[in-house]
Structure 1
Amino acid sequence: MTAAAMDVRITGDWASIRPAWPGLSDLGQGIDGFIFQTRDWIDGWFATLGEAGDTEGLFAVLSQGGTDRVFLPFVVRRAHGLRILEGFGDGTADYHAPLVAHGAAFGPAEADALWAALNRHPHAPDVIHLVKALAEIDGRPNPLLAWGATPYPMSGHIARLEGGWEAWFGRHFGRETQKTLARKRRKLGEIGPVETRFARDDAEALAWLRALIAGKAAQMAGADVANGLAGARTAAFYERLTRDDPAARHVKVYALTVGGTPVALQWGVAAGRRFTNLLTSYAAGDWTRFSPGLIMFRDLLEDRFANGDETFDFGIGDEGYKARFSDDPALILAGILRARTLRGHGYVAAQHARHRLREAGFVQRLRRTLRGLRVTDRAGATDAKAEAA
C-alpha cells in the first residue's frame, strides 16, 4: 500500500498561514530544517525588509492526511516587467531549503505537485529563480533541482560537535595554535581582565549588536568586499530578532571583552541543537596582533559543547578556516531557474548565458547530484511498485 499523495496549498496571506508555520523552537522537535525559513525569521523580514514594497511573500505548504508536513517560503519580486519567484529572505538567508516534518516525503512527486500548484495559482510568477538552494536535503538530492539547476559559486560548512570538547579541540586546533592562543590570551590579560560570554540582557545584546555592525562596516571599508549589513533595514532586521526573541532563548550575542570593552563580537542563533554562526566582527588596529576573533571563536565552540549542541553551522562561504573545522562534506548550493511563461524565457536565456561563465568544477559536482536525483527517483518508483504488489 502506497502512502497518500501530498496536497499543496499556496497563499500570499502570511497572517492566515502563520499560526501553523514552524518557529525556531520547533526545530529538532519534529521539524528538520534551518533557521532561515522559520516563522521567527519570516516575521522579522516582514517587519523590516519587507516594508520596501517591491516584493511579496508566497508560501507553500504540503500536507498529508490533513497534517502539514513540508513548508516552503518564497518571495515574488517585480523586476524587468516580470514576477520572479525567489527564496525567502535572500540577503539574510544563507540557505534556501524546506522545513520538513520528521519522516515526511519530499521527493520528485512532491516537486511535481508543487509545480502544478504554482501553475494554477492566480498570481503565479513568470520565472522561478532560486539561489542558494541546498543541492541535497538530509543526504538526498533536492527534488527542486529537476526544475532547472544552475551553478552557485559558494558552499556552506557544518562541524559536528562530538567526542567531547578536549578531544575535538585537540583535533582541530594544532598544538602550536593552542600554545599561541594561550600566549595571546595572557598578553590581553596584561591590558585588562579578559572575559568571553553571552550578553546578559536585551540592553547589552542590542548594544553589542550595534557595535558589531559598526565594526563590520569599518572592516569592509578598507576591503573590496560588499558589506552585507549595510542599510538601515538590514540592521533593523537583526535588531528585531535580538530584541523580540523571548528571554534570548535562541538569539545569542557573544563577546570577548578586555577590561569590559568588547574587542570581538559574534551574533548567532541556537535552535534544534545546532548553532548557526552568522555575524562576526573584531577590533582593528593594534588589537589584531592578539587574534581576538580566533580567541572568541575558540571559546564560543567550547560554550556550544557545554550547551549540548550537536552541530556548529559556519554559514555560507568557502573561507579556509571553515573547511578546516568542518568534519562533514561541504553543503553544496545550487541555483534553480525555470521559466513559467513566454515572457520569462528571455530572462532565463540571459541568466543561462551568465551561468556558462561559472567554474566547470562546480558544474561537475552539480551533475553528480542530478544523477543521484535520477537514481533516487527510479528507486522510489521501484519501492512504490513493490509496495503496491
Structure 2
Amino acid sequence: MIPIATLTPALDDRQASVTLRRGGAPYCAVTCTADELVSLAAEMQGVTEQSAFSSPCWLGPLVETLGSGARGRMFGVAVRSEADGTLAGAFPLAVTRERGCNVVRFAEFGVTDYTAPIFGPAFPASAAEAHQFYDAIRAALAGYDLIRFERLQTDLKAYPALPAIYPGSFASRAVGNVIVVTDSVQSYVADLGRKFRKEVDRCKRHIAATGPLVLERAAGEERIAAAFGWLEQLQSQRWEETGANYRLDEPAYAQFYRAVIACGIPAGFAEVITLSAGEVLVGAVFGVRSGDRFIVLRIASDDAQWGRFSPGRITLLAVMELLVAEGVRTFDLGIGDYQFKRRLGADTFGLADLIVPLTWKGAAVAAAIRAKRVLARQPALKRLADRVRGRA
C-alpha cells in the first residue's frame, strides 16, 4: 500500500466533498482521517445497530497497527444528510496500488471477515435514497481509479436498503457461516441427530478422563496473555504443518489482536475463553460480540493429545453453552468452508463484491478482474485461455 497523502491531497485540506440534489434526501460525502473515523464509530455505538467490525475496539487497533506505516494509511468517507448534518454512514477505507491503479478498498487488511459501513441515524431508508448515498460516495472517490469492495454484508435486517447502496454488486466467492440456537445447546446438538449427539458425548467423556472439564473466561493481564499466546502457538504450528502461507503470527498482526483484546475485553466486546481438562488445556476461542451475535475469529485445540476426540468442537460447544446463558443466540463462524462448520450444522449466508471503475485505467483492471472470475467458474474456458497464453 502507499500513503493516502501521496494519492489525494484533498484528504488533508477537506476539499473532497460532494453534495447531490436530485430530490429526496441529498447527501454530502466528505473524506476524513482515520482518527476521525474511529471517533465516529465511538459516537455511533449504542445509537444505531452496528457490525462488530465497525466497533471502535476493532477500528482503533486497526488504525494503530495494520492501517499505518508500511501497509499504508487508513482514511474514511463520512456521508451526512445535507439537511441537518446527521451522519448517514462512514466507510473505513484504504488504498492499494494494483496493476498501476490506485484501488480503494475497505480497510480490512485480511483480518475483517465481513465489510460494512458505520451506520448513522440518517442511513438511507429507501432504494432511491440509497442510490443518492452511493453516488455521493462515488463522487467523493473520483480521484482514484477503481473501487473494489469485497465480502460486503448486505443482509442486516435493520437496514433493508443496504443492498441498494452497492448497485452492480455480485455474489462473492466467500460465504459466511452461522449457527442460531433457539433453545439450548443441548437441544441444538440433539437436533443434529442421534449419531452426532452420541459422538459428542463420547468425545467429552474421553477428554474428561484426564480431569474435570473447566471453561474459563480469561481475565487479568497475565491470564489473558497466557491463554491467547497458547492459542496463537497452536494455530501457527497447525498452519506450518500444512505448508500454507500463514501471516497471523507476524508482529503487526500479533499486535493488532492484542490491541483488540486490551480494548475489547474490558468493554465486553472481545472474549478469550479456554477449556481445560483438569490442569491441561484442551482448546481456546477468541471472538467478538455484537448484540446477540458472537463471531468466532480464531479457534485452536490440542490435537496432538486429543485429536481423535474433536477437541475444537467440544471447546466451541462449551463456549456456546456459556454464551447462550448470557443471551447470545447467533454464533457466526466466519468465512471459510471448513468441514467442522458443516458438521456443526452451520448455515451459509451470501456476501457481495463490488467493482466500480472510476477512470479508463480502472476500467481495464475491472475488466481483467471480471474475466478472471468468469474463467474461475468455467474450467473449460480457463484451460482454453491458458493454452492461448502458452501456460498449458
5+ residue gaps, structure 2: 1-22, 379-392
Aligned match for 1:209, one of 215, 223, 228 = 228
**Post-superposition offset of 1:195:** 1.2
The answer as to whether partners of 1:74 and 1:86 remain within 8 angstroms in 2 is yes
For residues 86 and 224 of structure 1, what CA distance do their matches in structure 2 show?
Answer: 29
Q: Does 1:85 align with 2:108?
A: no
Deviation digits for residues 49-92 of structure 1 (CA, Å, limit 9, x no counterpart): 12333433232233333321323222122343322110121301
**Post-superposition offset of 1:293:** 0.8
Deviating 4+ runs (over 4 angstroms): 323-327
For residues 163 and 103 of structure 1, what CA distance do their matches in structure 2 show?
Answer: 35
Residue in 2 that maps onto 1:188: 207
Aligned AA (1:153): R
Instruction: Name the SS of the counterpart of 2:112 in structure 1.
Output: coil
5+ residue gaps, structure 1: 361-389
Q: Does 1:58 align with 2:58?
A: no
Q: 1:137 to 1:326 in 2, by over 3 A?
A: farther
For residues 321 and 122 of structure 2, what CA distance do their matches in structure 1 show?
Answer: 32
| Correspondences of 1:38-49 after superposition (within 5 Å) | 38-49=55-66
Q: Which has the higher contact order (CA 8 A, sep 6+)?
A: 1
Residue in 1 that maps onto 2:88: 69
The answer as to whether partners of 2:134 and 2:165 remain within 8 angstroms in 1 is no
Instruction: Name the SS of the counterpart of 1:309 in structure 2.
Output: coil
**Post-superposition offset of 1:220:** 1.0
Instruction: Name the SS of the counterpart of 2:209 in structure 1.
Output: helix
Aligned match for 1:271, one of 290, 307, 313 = 290
Deviation digits for residues 206-241 of structure 1 (CA, Å, limit 9, x no counterpart): 221121111111111122544352421111100111
The answer as to whether partners of 2:78 and 2:91 remain within 8 angstroms in 1 is yes
Residue in 1 that maps onto 2:384: none
Q: 1:244 to 1:308 in 2, by over 3 A?
A: same
* TM-score of the two chains, using structure 1 as the length reference: 0.81
For residues 71 and 357 of structure 2, what CA distance do their matches in structure 1 show?
Answer: 20
For residues 217 and 98 of structure 1, what CA distance do their matches in structure 2 show?
Answer: 31
**Post-superposition offset of 1:141:** 6.2
**Post-superposition offset of 1:319:** 2.7
Residue in 1 that maps onto 2:354: 336
* TM-score of the two chains, using structure 2 as the length reference: 0.80
Residue in 2 that maps onto 1:349: 367
Instruction: Name the SS of the counterpart of 1:168 in structure 2.
Output: helix
Aligned AA (2:70): G
Q: 1:119 to 1:100 in 2, by over 3 A?
A: closer
Deviation digits for residues 262-320 of structure 1 (CA, Å, limit 9, x no counterpart): 22111001221211111011113232122211111111111111010131111112334
For residues 117 and 227 of structure 2, what CA distance do their matches in structure 1 show?
Answer: 32
Q: Does 1:10 align with 2:30?
A: yes
More displaced stretch, 219-228 vs 277-286 = 219-228
Residue in 1 that maps onto 2:382: none
Q: 1:90 to 1:143 in 2, by over 3 A?
A: farther
Instruction: Name the SS of the counterpart of 1:269 in structure 2.
Output: strand
For residues 275 and 183 of structure 1, what CA distance do their matches in structure 2 show?
Answer: 27
| Correspondences of 1:1-389 after superposition (within 5 Å) | 5-22=25-42, 26=45, 29-64=46-81, 65-101=84-120, 104-105=123-124, 108-118=127-137, 120-121=139-140, 124-138=143-157, 142-146=163-167, 148-172=168-192, 174-245=193-264, 247=266, 249-323=268-342, 325=344, 330-359=348-377
**Post-superposition offset of 1:192:** 2.9
Instruction: Name the SS of the counterpart of 2:152 in structure 1.
Output: strand
Q: 1:277 to 1:289 in 2, by over 3 A?
A: same
Q: 1:180 to 1:102 in 2, by over 3 A?
A: farther
For residues 57 and 8 of structure 1, what CA distance do their matches in structure 2 show?
Answer: 20
For residues 318 and 56 of structure 2, what CA distance do their matches in structure 1 show?
Answer: 30
Aligned AA (1:351): I
Q: 1:164 to 1:239 in 2, by over 3 A?
A: same
For residues 267 and 228 of structure 2, what CA distance do their matches in structure 1 show?
Answer: 13
Q: 1:313 to 1:228 in 2, by over 3 A?
A: farther
Q: 1:22 to 1:6 in 2, by over 3 A?
A: farther
More displaced stretch, 100-109 vs 226-235 = 100-109
For residues 197 and 302 of structure 2, what CA distance do their matches in structure 1 show?
Answer: 21
Instruction: Name the SS of the counterpart of 1:264 in structure 2.
Output: strand
> Cα RMSD between the aligned structures?
2.8
The answer as to whether partners of 2:57 and 2:263 remain within 8 angstroms in 1 is no
Residue in 2 that maps onto 1:368: none
The alignment-based identity, stated in percent, is 22
For residues 39 and 166 of structure 2, what CA distance do their matches in structure 1 show?
Answer: 29
Equivalent pairs counted in the alignment come to: 353
More displaced stretch, 94-103 vs 45-54 = 94-103
Q: 1:291 to 1:122 in 2, by over 3 A?
A: closer
Aligned AA (2:210): I
For residues 303 and 185 of structure 1, what CA distance do their matches in structure 2 show?
Answer: 16
